[in-house]
Structure 1
Amino acid sequence: MRLATLRSGDGTVAAVAAGAEWAVLPHSDVGDLLRDPDGLRTARAVAAPSPAEGPATPAGGLAPVVPRPSKIVCCGHNYAGHIREMGRDLPEHPTLFTKFADTLTGPADTVTLPAWAGRPDWEAELAVVVGTPLHRATRDEALAGVAGYTGANDLSVRAWQHHTGQWLPGKAFDATTPLGPVLVTPDELDPATGLALTCRVNGEVVQSGDTADLVFDAPALLAYISAFTRLSPGDVVLTGTPAGVGAATSPPRFLADGDVVEVSLQGVGVLTTPIRIEFEECA
């Protein structure tokens, strides 16, 4: 089953793929649907197999698939290839940081940054959306608690990320994390089998990874995170990025005004993000 949050007028609505069309559901967004104990059952009642690429994008466009999660937890240094390119050893525990809900943006939205932000970079990612409350979950409970999977671009402002050893400022600029385009439920998608994850900048492939290269997979991350903080339906966990980020190239390469970043996750779809750099003075 494929779920999406559609923009409609001044708001949003949740929808499920029903053949070549989107069937609108009685929920404001996919997160709202997941918080309803009957939400997935309601969606399944009207869902139908859709083309591989899913229904066409509606006229109003797509919002972040979960626009207002109560928690966004992200894992860094989680692909073995990326860890090696950064010159690090494989970690014993996940390296985690958080984002805020207003860092999220739609799967085709332009990301706008001030020029003083400095060194914006791409990070293609698999994101996991929680479907049931998780607290000190076992691996099996965590896996059963997955609502589905979607794509993300953890677009990072490296200059601010490296102000100190704490990454938060460079990861939390407003409206810089595209999420979507759709949520695909686990009965149709399993990252453990290996899903291709690709990032292109202006058509050039800069990242080409596979979710089988994850050091900590989705259930491991959910179990670990739920040991210290409760996870709720609609919460989002970003699982890390494969090798090929701009900061690790020689010489380093960063995004510029007019660039277009495409993140493609097998079985989910493509996030297309035009980059706009505004020249303004730092406050």
Structure 2
Amino acid sequence: MTESNTSSSSSAVAPNKGVKQGLPYVGLPAAEEAAIKLWGVARRGTVSPEAFARQFGEKAKASGSGWDSRLAMLRGFKLIRAEGKQLGLSELGQKIVNSSDPEAQFNARREAIMNLKAYRELVESFNQTALPDSSVLATKLQFDYGKTEKFAARAAQSFIDSLKHAEMIDAGNIVRKEGVVNVAPVVSLVPASEMAEKTDQNGDQEVAFEIDRAFEEDGEIAEPSEKVFPPVERNVTSEKVPNVSLSLTLDLSNFRADEVVRILGALGFDGRD
């Protein structure tokens, strides 16, 4: 009896931990969009994290889940560089936002896909074969990475969208590691074994941990600029509850005028009886 209960409890806590790490639920298109915004403010130089964050909204901050996941993706694809506390696009990031050179941009997208450990492993496992249906792929991701069904479904679609964006799936739905467009492949003089070793030394595992931290199971990407005001009921003084005097200071300098009116109204300072 005790043994049965223990087994059941253990299964409920951790049905599947997975063995792989670093799977995001957004992909290359989202990371490239963020890189374009960084290019808009930094160009080939660097800017403060706060300046970059403001490109996603006037009140967006360089903190929070949205910020963490964005940086994790940019680092995973190796599109960003840091100089002290300043941020800028890496050489690859500059190529990926340069639409005036389609060939270099295509190669940059393919290189970015292969930079992200989880994506690289998937590409290599499916290379020269048909990519499974999104639901089948989601099941694989769910068990390989220990994710929920919802997370895995979103991650699977993001991976498929990323391959299409990098033109790594042909008309027959076959995964092409070298790409499907007619451009010269990038030739490396470094043996594949040495390249893999170099990649690991450059922080593959560290980035995988960062991605896992940033993309929480129960999290949706919410921009730091978004403010959600839960419904607040005004306190009504009854004969049974004595009036209480409360003194406080509110800093509303970072809110819009309409937001200030709503907050004051919720606190009972809207001028109505």
The answer to whether TM tops 0.5 is no
When the two structures are superposed, what TM-score results if normalisation uses the length of structure 1? 0.21
When the two structures are superposed, what TM-score results if normalisation uses the length of structure 2? 0.22
Point out the structure with max Rg over C-alpha: 2
